Chain A
C-alpha cells in the first residue's frame, strides 16, 4: 500500500480481504545489532531477526569456503520462512528453534536480533525441537515424491535431506482414505492439499502482495487448510485471477502450475501427480466469464463466508466433547 495514502484511504478491496490469519507484531530488531551465533559474531542492520544472524554466519562461512570452521554448528531449516517480498515470517513450522543465553528456546525467524544476543544452534533442546517439528511436518505430508512435480525443487525435501531424515518419527501421510482430492479444476493452477504444510506463503502472496483476496486459511486443528475467501469448494469457483504467485512461493508440491505438474516425476507409465491420490476435482465445463468482474460481484460474499466459517468453528468445538470413542 502506498505510504501516500492516509489511514482509511485504502483501496476498497483491501477492506474486504479476510485471510483468516492473525495480525502479528513486527519481528525485526529496532536498531542495528551485533549477535553471536555459535561463537561467530555478526553485525546486522535494524529490522533483523535471529534467523538473519544465523543465515549471515552460514553465508559468511560459505563465502570463505569454510563451512567446517566458522559456519553454524547445526543446520536450521526454517521451513516456512520465505524472506522475500515481505512474505512472512509466519513462524508456524518451528523448525528454526535456537537457544539464546537470555531467553532460552526461541524461534529464530520471528525473534528480534537483540544486541548482544548469544545464539546456539547446537543446544540439545533446540536440535530436538527442530528435529521433532520437522518430523511433525512430514507426518502430515503426502510423501509421494516420485509422482510430485516439485521433486528435486522442494523445500521440505531439501530440509529432510539436509537433516538426514531417513525414517520420520511419526511416519508420513500415507492413508489414501484421508487424502483430500486434488483440485484440478483450474486451467492454470493445481492444488494438492495433501502436500500443504500450511506455511501461509500463498495466502500472503495472494492477499498482501497481489491484493487479490482469493486464498485464506480456514478451519482449525487437523482441519486447518487453505481455502477460498468466497467460500468456494474449488479453484474454479473461486475468484482466482490465475496470477500464479501462490505457485511461485509454495515450498512444496501443493500449488503447482498446470502443464508442469509432472515435470519432475519419475517417468513410469500410468503414474502421474494427478492420479497419485486417486481422486480429484475437475473443471465442470461450463463457460466462465472474466475473472475480475466476477470477483467484484462476489466480494460481499467474503463476509458471509467468514461468518459461516466462524459459526462452523463454534459448532465444531461444541461437538468436540468427550463422548467420542476412546481409545
Chain B
C-alpha cells in the first residue's frame, strides 16, 4: 500500500477535492490526477510526473481554496487561488521549483515526503498543533495508503485500546462521556463483550446560527474530520470495536453534511479489514439530534426525536444492546493515543472552531494548556472584539479568551466545552444575543421535559420583560437553576448557560436595557427629534 501513498511522490499538488475547476487547471499545468487506486492503477502518475491529489479541507476556511505544492523537501502554500494560478503552480512543480510563481502564503521546508501536514509557521495553518488534523488538507480522504503512510491502521490489541483510553475524556455534547473519562463506559461495554454497539456521533450541526440574515452555519470539527481524515475517525471506532467485539459500528452524521456523509461512506468501504463493518446513518439536521440519546433514537429510526431518560451508571442502548457513544473527535483522539503518540511528552489537544463575527471561520487544534486566545490567530475578526460565546450554540459569554481550553478551566469560568468560540463584535448587543438564544432553545427543544420546554419559554418572556423596564434578576436566576438542575438532557442544562453567564459578566447591560438604553445602540429606536 505504501508505494501508492502521496508520501512516495516527488512532486505533488494538493487541490481541494470539491473544486473540479482547480483540478482541471492543475492538469493543464502538466499534473496527473491520482485518486489512489493502488499500484495496479494504470492511470497512476509515473515517478517523474506531478501528482494532483484531491484533498479535504484544512479547517481554515479563510484560505480556501488552498493549494499546496510539494517538491523534494519544500512545500509552498497558496491561499485563495484561481485556476490560472493553479496551472502555473503545477508547471512550476513539474520543473522542480517550489514557490517561485505567484505569491505563496508560506514556503515550508521539511523532510522528503512528509506523511502529514508540514508546519507553516506565522500563518493560520501554523496555529496550534496538527496531530488529529495532521492529514487534513494533506491526505486524500478516502485513500487508505495516505493514512497508512502516516502510521495509521495500527493493529491494536485489547490491552492497547484500554491503555489508550486511560485518561481520555469525551469531547463535545454529542459524547456520552462529555468531559469525563471514557474508560468506565468502555469497561461497561466490555461486560457486554460481543453484544455491544459502537456509535461515532459526528452529528454536530452548526457552529453558530445566522445573524442579521447571514448564514454562518459551517460543519463542526466532527464533520471536518469526516470530510478530511475519515480514516483517523474510523480507526478509533475500529479500536473500540476490537475492545468490545462490537456487533455494530455506526457512524452517525447530519443529513445536511453531505460531503462528510459521502466521504465517510467511501472510506468505510476502503477501510482495510475492519473488525466490524461500518454503517453510516444520517439523522435530521436539527441541533437536538446531536444529543447522545436522541442520536440513538435517530439511528433506530424514530420519526420524532426526544431525549431518553438515563439510568445511572449504565450505558444507553441501541436496539437493545449497550452502546458506546463517542464523538468523532473522541475516537480520533483514541486512535492517536493507541499509537502512543499522544501520551507522555504531549499535552492532550482540543479542536477549537472560531466562528461568529469573523471574516471566515476556522478550526484549529490547540494544546489543552494553550489559551483560547491562540485560536484567534487563525481568523480575521470582522470588527472589534466585544465578547465571545464559548461552548457552541449555548456557550457561555466572556469578555476575555485568556483561558486555557482544558475542560476544567472552561467549566471554572462557566464556559462550555463544545469546542466552538463564537466571536461577538462591538456592535453586538449581548442582551439581544442571549435573548435570541433563549428563544432558539424555546423553539427547538424536543418538548419532553417541563424545565426545558416551559422553562426556556418563560426565560424568553423574562428577558423580553427587561425591555419593559422589569429586570427580575432573582427570578431569572431561580429559573436558570431549575433548568440546569432538573432537565432530562444536556439541551436544557446548556440552554441556561448563555443567560446565566451574560448576567454574571455583563449584568450592567441588563440594567441599562431596563432603563431604556442599549449600550451597543442596537435595541431601541432613537427618539424622534421634533422638527
Residues in A lying within 8 Å of B, measured CB to CB: 18, 20-27, 91-95, 97, 103-105, 107, 110-112, 114, 125, 128-129, 132-133, 136-137, 139-140, 169-170, 198, 216-224, 306-307, 309-310, 313-314, 316-318, 320-324, 326-327
Q: A93-B450, A314-B286, A322-B436 are in contact. Are A22 and B302 (CB under 8 A)?
A: yes
**Which among B306, B450, B451 is the interface contact of A22 at CB below 8 angstroms?**
B306
B304 touches A306 (CB 8 A): yes
Nearest residue (CB) in A for B210 is A321
Within the complex, what minimum Cβ distance (angstroms) separates B218 from chain A? 14
Residue of A nearest to B303 (CB): A306
Closest residue of chain B to A314 (Cβ to Cβ) is B284
A-B contact pairs, 17 of them (CB 8 A): A20-B303, A23-B297, A23-B300, A25-B316, A92-B448, A92-B450, A94-B488, A95-B450, A97-B485, A129-B486, A139-B458, A140-B454, A170-B458, A309-B304, A322-B210, A324-B439, A326-B523
* Cross-interface CB contact of A322 among B440, B454, B467, cutoff 8 Å: B440
Known: A22-B448, A125-B481, A322-B436. 13 other contacts (CB 8 A): A22-B294, A93-B449, A94-B449, A129-B451, A129-B481, A132-B455, A136-B454, A170-B454, A220-B444, A221-B443, A221-B444, A310-B303, A310-B304
Give A138 Cβ to nearest chain B Cβ, in Å: 9
Q: How far is the CB of A297 from the nearest CB of chain B, in Å?
A: 21
Shortest CB distance B180–A (Å): 14
Decide yes or no whether B447 CB sits under 8 A from chain A: yes
A-contacting residues, B22-58, CB 8 Å: none
Chain B residue nearest to A305 (CB atoms) is B303
CA distance A97 to B449 in the complex (A): 13
A220-B444, A309-B304 in contact; A92/B439 too (CB < 8 A)?
A: no
Residue among B305, B309, B316 with the highest chain A CB neighbour number at 10 A: B309
Q: Given the known inter-chain contacts A22-B308, A27-B309, A222-B442, please indicate yes or no for A136 contacting B436, CB distance below 8 A.
A: no
Q: Measured between alpha carbons, how far is A137 from B317 in the docked complex, in Å? A: 30
Q: Is the CB of B211 within 8 A of A322?
A: yes
Residue of B whose beta carbon sits closest to that of A91: B309
Q: A27-B311, A322-B436 are in contact. Are A224 and B303 (CB under 8 A)?
A: no
Known A97-B486, A220-B446, A326-B432: A18·B303 in contact at CB below 8 Å = yes
Chain A residues with CB under 8 A of B285: 314, 317-318
Instruction: Name the residue on A nearest B429 (C-beta).
Output: A326
A25 engages B308 (CB within 8 Å)? yes
- B461 is an interface residue with CB less than 8 A from chain A: yes
Chain B interface residues (CB < 8 Å from chain A): 209-211, 213, 284-288, 293-294, 297, 300, 302-312, 314, 316-317, 432, 435-436, 439-440, 442-451, 453-458, 461, 463-464, 466-467, 475, 478-479, 481-482, 485-488, 523
Decide: B463 and A327 in contact? CB cutoff 8 A.
yes
Q: What's the least CB distance linking A6 to chain B, in Å?
A: 14
Which residues of chain B are near A320, meaning CB under 8 Å?
440, 443-444
Write out the residue numbers on chain A whose beta carbons fall within 8 Å of the beta carbon of B297: 22-23
Given A24-B309, A321-B210, A327-B464, A133 and B447 contact (CB-CB distance below 8 Å)? no
Nearest CB of A to B212, in Å:
8
Rounded to whole Å, the gap between the CB of B55 and the closest CB of chain A is 30
Q: What are the residues of chain A within 8 A of B436 when measuring CB–CB?
A: 322, 324, 326
- Determine if B448 and A139 form an interchain contact, defined as CB atoms under 8 angstroms apart: no
Asked whether A25 lies within 8 Å of B211 as measured between CB atoms, the reply is: no
Smallest CB-CB separation from B457: which chain A residue?
A222
**Measured between C-beta atoms, what is the minimum distance from B247 to chain A in Å?**
15
- B209 & A322 in contact (Cβ 8 Å cutoff): yes
| Cβ contact within 8 Å between A133 and B482 | yes
Nearest chain B CB to A14 CB, angstrom units: 15
Q: Give the residue name and chain of the B residue nearest to A170 (CB).
A: B458
Q: Output the least CB separation between B397 and chain A (Å).
A: 16
Residue of A nearest to B456 (CB): A221
**A125 contacts B485, C-beta separation under 8 Å:** yes
Which residue of chain A has its CB nearest to the CB of B431?
Answer: A327
In the bound complex, how far is the Cα of B211 from the Cα of A140, in angstroms? 30
Known contacts A23-B308, A217-B447; A94/B486 CB under 8 A? yes
Query: What separation, in Å, do the CA atoms of A153 and B312 have in the docked complex?
Result: 35
Q: Is A221 touching B209 in the complex (CB atoms < 8 A)?
A: no
CA distance A327 to B458 in the complex (A): 14
In Å, the complex CA distance between A223 and B442 comes to 10
* Inter-subunit contact A139/B445 (CB<8 Å): no
Alpha-carbon distance between A327 and B439 when the two chains are bound, in angstroms: 10
Residue in A107, A114, A326 with the greatest tally of chain B CB atoms within 10 Å: A326
Q: Chain A contacts of B453 at CB under 8 A? A: 198, 221-222, 224
Are B447 and A129 neighbours in the complex by a CB distance under 8 Å? no
CB < 8 Å neighbour of B317 from A25, A92, A139, A220 = A25
Contacts of B293 in A (CB 8 A): 22
A114 to B314: give the CA distance in the assembly, Å. Answer: 13
Residue of B nearest to A109 (CB): B309
Which of B297, B435, B482 is the most central at the interface, judged by chain A CB atoms within 10 Å of its CB?
Answer: B482
Neighbouring B residues of A18 by C-beta, 8 Å: 302-304
- Separation of A224 and B451 alpha carbons in the complex (Å): 14
State in angstroms the CA–CA spacing of A137 and B310 once bound together. Answer: 22
CA distance A25 to B482 in the complex (A): 24
A25-B311, A92-B448, A111-B312 given; A105·B485 CB < 8 A = yes
Name the distance in Å between B379's Cβ and chain A's nearest Cβ.
21
**B288: chain A residues within 8 A (beta carbon):** 220
B320 to chain A, nearest CB (A): 9
Nearest chain B residue, comparing its CB with the CB of A97: B486
A132 to B454 alpha-carbon distance, docked (Å)? 10
For B455, the chain A residues whose CB sits under 8 A away are 132, 136
* Closest residue on chain A to residue B445 by CB atoms: A221
Contact residue among A22, A170, A321 (Cβ-Cβ distance under 8 Å from B307): A22
Query: Do residues A170 and B461 form an inter-chain contact, with CB atoms below 8 A?
Result: yes
Q: How far in angstroms is the closest Cβ of chain A from B440?
A: 6
Q: Do A133 and B309 form a contact, CB below 8 Å, given A320-B443, A327-B463, A327-B523? A: no
- Complex: A316 Cα to B284 Cα, angstroms: 12
Tell me which residues across on chain A come within 8 A of B463, comparing CB atoms.
327
Complexed CA–CA distance, A320 and B456 (Å)? 15
Closest to B524 in A: A327
A222's partner among B310, B312, B316, B443 (CB-CB below 8 A) is B443
Q: How far is the CB of A228 from chain B (nearest CB, A)?
A: 13
**Complex CA–CA separation, A319 to B487 (angstroms):** 25
Once the chains bind, are B314 and A326 in contact (CB under 8 Å)?
no
A241→B444 CA distance, assembly (Å): 33
Closest-CB distance, B423 to chain A (whole angstroms)? 15
Q: How far is the CA of A22 from the CA of B302 in the complex (A)?
A: 8
**For residue A132, which residues in chain B have a CB less than 8 angstroms away from its CB?**
451, 455, 478-479, 482
Interface pair A129/B485, CB less than 8 Å apart? yes
Chain B residue at smallest Cβ distance from A107: B486
CA distance A27 to B486 in the complex (A): 17
The residue from B286, B311, B482 contacting A317, defined by CB atoms under 8 A apart:
B286
The minimal Cβ–Cβ distance linking A113 to chain B, given in whole angstroms, is 11
| Smallest CB separation, B480 vs chain A (Å) | 10
Out of A125, A137, A216, A306, name the residue touching B454 (CB < 8 Å).
A137
- Chain A residue at minimal CB-CB distance from B287: A317
- With the chains together, A306 CA to B284 CA distance in Å? 13
Bound CA–CA A169/B312 (angstroms): 32
CA distance A105 to B211 in the complex (A): 37
Chain B: which residue is nearest A133 at the CB level?
B450
Q: Which residues of A contact B304 (CB under 8 A)?
A: 18, 20-21, 216-218, 220, 306, 309-310, 313
